[in-house]
Amino acid sequence: MNSQWMSRRYTSVITVASVLMFGLASLTGAQNSPVAGANAGPGTIQAKPGRGRVIIPASSQSEASDAGLRAHTNIEVFVPDTLQPDEAPPSSGYAYETPASLACIYQLVPVSPGCNPNTVTANPTGGSKMIAIVDAYSDPHAASDLAYFSEQFGLPFSTSQFSVVFADGQPPEEDPTGEWELEESLDIEYTHAMAPQAQIVLVEAASNSLSGLLQGVVVATNEVSCGLPICAGVGNGAGEVSMSWGTGEFPSETSLDPYFTGRNVVYVAAAGDSPGTLWPSTSPNVVAAGGTTTARSIVTGDFLREITWSSGGGGTSLYEARPSYQRAVNNLQGSYRGVPDLSFDSNPYTGVWVWDSNYFQDLGGSGWFIVGGTSVAAQALAGIINAAGSFFPSTAAELTTIYQNRLDSNYFREIPYGTCGPYSGIFATSGWDPCTGVGSSTGTGGK
């Protein structure tokens, strides 16, 4: 690691620790408390895993009056009770997800027993063409944060792979809370992590107004199609447009679905972080990304199985008609679209490491964060779909392929464990369900 990044790292650690920011570093030298009955050693959890609190930023909270007018992020931050080592992740004694551990779980690399974040190092190597990410507000440190994240986890990265485009042609203001900046950091880092050879374009809208973000979708579509914010004609490019944000469903949403019909572009959106449905993930022209939990041993940190995330979004759309690719789904009743389609780890208690050098108001600092929410799923799945290399002419074609292959265990993992929905009253089952859709992805085939 070069001296420039080393300096940034320790400056951040001291800043975070001085305000006791969810224990990303300890200046006291206090040791982590061992788990009762566990012997300290390689691959053994020495802290109290899973104990802590979850912060839901204001940017991820919505009001009924926001529906159709303003969108919100889908991130949640896990704050452990115990202070963590003064080292960058993966941190011994903590089993939160890294690019390599996720690559192992989702079989993007040869699988190592346990897929332990503290031992696995093989990262995804795929990706091509372009993924455009639409977010709100400005992240002034996006490029340097992505470079640092990539260096920390051994991901290939070149500055020529990443660019920022402004949706309305002018640099937007920053979000003074730092909440949208954390969203942007997560988005670019985990899209790149799953498809490190793809070109990443971050499209920043002026605000979280739905109209502004949809303008961002137009620009993102043009970038994927022809490599420019404005296309003079029909471009020959291909790739994905990902959206970690959403808004409550509203009666006129179907009139906006054509925003997601760019030629050779597949659109992916977060399904939400609470029971129910969000637009644009309910659009039949969008892959709805749901959430799961990567359950791990409290003794070793090894991966046990993937189960539902009870807070993940899902259900039946209020307004969107059931698309043709869902006609054969036996568990979906009625004439309206069901979401999600496909899922990925999103539970903040099994969250992912994110580097963000922007000031995050909720915790009074910057540095390494443990983040969950279906924003993780939207970006990771956009990367996996990109790495699959099919580059279908439309999202409908992508989803038709996914649903046709949904029962093939070579391509998808069924998740029949857990619950979701209001009062956790919906039980996961074989086949499609509103907890995880068709399940999660294994490898890049069948997509």
Q: What is the CATH number of the domain that holds 328?
A: 3.40.50.200
CA-based max dimension of the chain: 66
Chain position carrying tokens 């051994």: 154
On whether residue 133 sits in a domain, the answer given is: yes
Exposed (0-12), middle (13-18) or buried (19+): which is 65, by Cβ within 10 Å? exposed
CB atoms within 10 A of CB 393: 14
DSSP 234-265: -----EEEEE--BEE--TTGGGGGGGG--TTE
Q: Measured between alpha carbons, how far is 116 from 202 in angstroms, rounded to an integer?
A: 31
CA 69, CA 251: separation in Å to the nearest integer? 12
Whole-number Cα distances in Å, 275 to 54, 59, 131, 308: 17, 18, 28, 12
Q: Tokens in use for 253? A: 């949403």
Tokens for 231, please give them: 């296309």
**Does residue 8 fall inside a structural domain?**
no
The per-residue pLDDT for 85 is 52
Residues 311-343 have pLDDT tens digits of 999 999 999 999 999 999 989 989 999 999 999
Task: Give the SS3 label for residue 58.
Answer: helix
> According to the model, what pLDDT value does residue 233 have?
67
Q: Which residues pair with 315 in a beta bridge?
A: 339
Number of domains in the chain: 1
- Positions of the chain with pLDDT lower than 70, given as ranges: 1-50, 83-87, 233
Q: Are 237 and 213 in contact (CB under 8 A)?
A: no
CA 276 to chain centre: 18
Residues 138, 202: Cα–Cα separation, whole Å: 10
The answer to whether position 359 is within a domain reads yes
For position 54, what pLDDT does the model report?
Answer: 95
79 φ, ψ to 5°?
-120, 100
- Asked if the structure places residue 33 within a domain, the reply is no
Is the preceding peptide bond at 434 cis, omega within 30 degrees of 0?
no
Please check whether residue 179 lies inside any domain of the structure: yes
Which residues have CB under 8 Å from 87's CB, separation 6+? none
Which residues are 381's β-sheet partners?
A: none
Q: What pLDDT, on the 0 to 100 scale, is given for residue 83?
A: 55
Residue 226 lies in a domain: yes
Residue 432 inside a domain? The answer is: yes
Is there a domain that residue 28 lies in?
Answer: no
- Domain residues for 225? 52-441
